[in-house]
């Protein structure tokens, strides 16, 4: 198994990406991964936020037009992610943080598909007329939570030791504070 992974790591393309001084090697692959994340997570999060009742003036039906862009983000991330893994597969596969990221991505995709089926499925003429179902809202919350875990875990794969756990706690604290602040803001604005 490890010999096979080492052969991938030492093959021509990963070696070029890792060792070239060209900016079109490692750093461009890394940037592509960030572009993919921005379109995949950024745009799908807006659909989830709309399903959760934010931006109620925004009709859901036209938001289907963003799905192809979200899919482009996913495929860009898959390809760039596979290239990044091929640069040092053993390091990734022996890092539990990497597996947490993978699990979170799979769960987020499952939740996103469920959300898409709930809000965009059925008769297209009724998309903006029917109420958002509880299962759609559950999928939206789950997708946002799994994206949060995936982005955090992805960032922390570059670190080792307790700093990852400490940072994860700090991210949770920040998120809770931000959500409470948003809730307070909404209530104050409503009065």
Partner 1 sequence: MESVLRYWLLWPSVVHFLQQNSWAWPLSETLHFFGVNLLIGGVGLFDLRVMGLAKALPIRAVRKLLPWGVFGFILCVVTGLAFVTGLQANIPAHPYDVIMSDLWLQLKLVFMALAGLNLLAFYLTGMSRAVDDLGPGEDAPQLAKIIAGSSLFFWLMVIYFGRLIPDGL
Q: Pick one of 52, 102, 110, 171: the residue that binds partner 1 (CB under 8 A).
A: 171
Question: What is the Cβ-side half-sphere exposure of residue 49, based on CA atoms within 13 angstroms?
Answer: 11
Dihedral angle of Cα 125, 136, 67, 92, to the nearest 10 degrees: -170
CA 18/CA 27 separation, integer angstroms: 9
- 164 touching partner 1, by CB under 8 A: yes
Binding segment toward partner 1, per CB under 8 A, in 41-49, 86-94, 98-106, 131-139: 41-49
- 37 touching partner 1, by CB under 8 A: yes
Binding segment toward partner 1, per CB under 8 A, in 75-83, 94-102, 132-140, 166-174: 166-174
Which residues from 42-61 bind partner 1, rule CB under 8 A? 42-43, 45-46, 55, 57-59, 61
Q: Pick one of 9, 14, 17, 39: the residue that binds partner 1 (CB under 8 A).
A: 39
Q: Pick one of 95, 114, 118, 152: the residue that binds partner 1 (CB under 8 A).
A: 152
Termini Cα distance of the chain:
63
């Amino acid at each position: 198994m490890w010999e096979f992974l080492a052969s991938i790591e030492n093959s021509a393309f990963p070696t070029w990406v890792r060792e070239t001084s060209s900016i079109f090697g490692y750093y461009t692959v890394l940037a592509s991964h960030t572009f993919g994340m921005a379109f995949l997570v950024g745009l799908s999060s807006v659909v989830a936020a709309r399903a959760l009742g934010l931006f109620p003036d925004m009709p859901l039906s036209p938001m289907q037009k963003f799905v192809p862009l979200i899919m482009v983000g996913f495929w860009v991330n898959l390809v760039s992610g596979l290239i990044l893994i091929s640069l040092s597969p053993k390091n990734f596969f022996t890092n539990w943080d990497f597996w947490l990221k993978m699990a979170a991505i799979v769960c987020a995709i499952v939740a996103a598909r469920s959300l898409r089926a709930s809000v965009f499925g059925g008769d297209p003429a009724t998309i903006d007329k029917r109420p958002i179902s509880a299962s759609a809202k559950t999928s939206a919350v789950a997708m946002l939570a799994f994206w949060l875990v995936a982005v955090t875990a992805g960032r922390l794969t570059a670190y080792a030791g307790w700093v990852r756990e400490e940072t994860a706690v700090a991210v949770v604290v920040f998120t809770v504070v931000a959500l409470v602040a948003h809730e307070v803001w909404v209530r104050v604005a409503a009065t």
